[in-house]
Structure 1
Amino acid sequence: MFLKIKNIPKVYWSSEKPLNLKPKISTFFFLCLGLTLFGLGEGLLIVSFAGASPWSVLAQGIALNVDFSTGIITIFVSIGVLLLWVPLKQKPGIGTILNAIIIGLMIDVCIKFVPTPDNYISQILLAIIAVLTVGLGGGIYLVANLGAGPRDGLMVGLQKKTNLPIATVRAFLEITAMSIGWYLGGTVGVGTLLFALGIGPSVALSLFIVGKSFN
């Protein structure tokens, strides 16, 4: 049932509009909670050593073919994705800014305090937990409706244009980014595949749970 979700649910703590500089305390709380979980999941995927996320593979692949670092390419890719928001009529908000700040901090926390598992099976299990955590956090912060991050905004905009389920649109974006990155020389691991195939359903499940729990 949750795989057919096409819209971001509206609950009592959702903001009426993304560009809201004075949101309710509850809205701001759930925005930060969602982004914290999102960043935690991204960090866990990195320390699992099972493979980077598809968009990191894309940045790595591009970096191998131009004279820029993977970090710089990541910034350029984010800017490019934000430019795609214009024809899709997506609007930024404080969540768009906090997306980069909170997720970046949580990734650093994970790298510093969470050890990489010793065996391969544990690494894969950690990667699965990471994908589910990113999906849970993504659903919560999207429902807050205070502005999405670049990739999530692209997902929401494309969903509105195509009317396809959110899980399908997100899976398409992740698989496309992973495929292009791999073609350009980026390294794909099991964790990359788990993220590409699992993040769409994970976000859809989170949206379903949040929508049912707070309505």
Structure 2
Amino acid sequence: MTAIELRPLPVTHDPVRRLAQLVGGLALYGTSMAMQVRATLGLNPWDVLHEGLTERTPLGFGLVTAVTGVVVLLLWIPLRQRPGVGTVANVLVIAVTVDVALALLPAPDALPARVALMTAGIVLNGVASAAYVGARLGPGPRDGLMTGLAARTGRSLRLVRTGIEVTVLTAGWLLGGTVGAGTVLYALAIGPLTQAFLPFLAVRTPRPPGSTAARR
């Protein structure tokens, strides 16, 4: 059997192809969220909050993610952040696909099956993150909040992101969201996974004529 060789995407400015990658990545992201929910071994910080809010309100998980996304977008206004196509799609596509996936995915009882589902969900989340970020059509609401706060406060992205996620995780846990081994594994693995997949999924747009790179 011939090994499959991963190569960086070719240079392109095709908006249809980038939009397809964006929507596909977001759909996979919603699916990966549902896989982690069904594993019941711990969620990422934002999904701990989403699950906690679902427990405290009559809203479904997908609708809660959408409402949270809209609230976060409102926080962009004083931060002077500008949404893109990807920002709006992030709110809508993930909200729909996570509910569809939750309706289709059974909740396994056996611990090995739950661990496998959790692990697969985290890996898929890394692929999905690289796909929608790599489409370069605008940050998600939560990503924009992080970069906006960092720009306005002068703090590092790492510090701002840590502060946001600790706050969100604490609030979600107090509301009844699931915190566990999956939460820790996600925190440790999602950065390296996304970074590993991004070179193969990031859209490479043509550089303008006369740029330094173009002359090399």
Task: State the SS of the aligned residue for 2:139.
Answer: coil
Shift of residue 109 of structure 1?
Answer: 3.2
Q: CA deviation at 1:119?
A: 1.3
User: Structure 1 residues 45, 30: closer, same or farther in 2, change over 3 A?
Assistant: same
Residues 51-86 of structure 1 deviation map (CA, whole Å, 9 limit, x = unaligned): 34422322455677xx74465765553333223323
1:97-144 residue CA offsets vs partner (Å, 9 max, x unmatched): 222332233223322333333311221221122122122211221222
Structure with greater Cα Rg: 2
Q: Which moved more, 1:24-33 or 1:177-186?
A: 177-186
Aligned to 1:39: 30
CA pair 68-85 structure 1, distance change in 2 beyond 3 A: same
Q: Could you tell me how far 1:34 is from its partner in structure 2?
A: 1.3
* CA pair 116-201 structure 1, distance change in 2 beyond 3 A: same
Deviation at 1:183, TM superposition (A): 3.8
The unaligned stretches of length 5 or more in structure 2 are 1-9, 206-216
Q: Which residue of 1 aligns with 2:98?
A: 107
Match of 1:48 among 39, 45, 54: 39
Tell which deviates more after alignment, 195-204 or 115-124: 195-204
8 Å Cα contact 2:129-2:194 kept in structure 1: yes
TM-score, normalising length: structure 1: 0.69
- 1:60·1:70 contact (CA, 8 Å) conserved in 2? no
Distance 1:78 1:152 in 2: 11
Match of 1:201 among 192, 208, 213: 192
> What amino acid sits opposite 1:149 in the alignment?
G
Q: How much is the aligned-residue C-alpha RMSD, in angstroms? A: 3.4
Which one of 72, 82, 89 corresponds to residue 80 of structure 2? 89
TM-aligned CA deviation for residue 41 of structure 1: 0.8
Q: What is the letter of the counterpart of residue 12 of structure 1? A: V
Separation in 1 of the partners of 2:102 and 2:87?
A: 23
C-alpha spacing 1:50/1:155, structure 2 compared with 1 (3 Å)? same
> Size of the alignment, in residue pairs?
193
Percent sequence identity is: 36
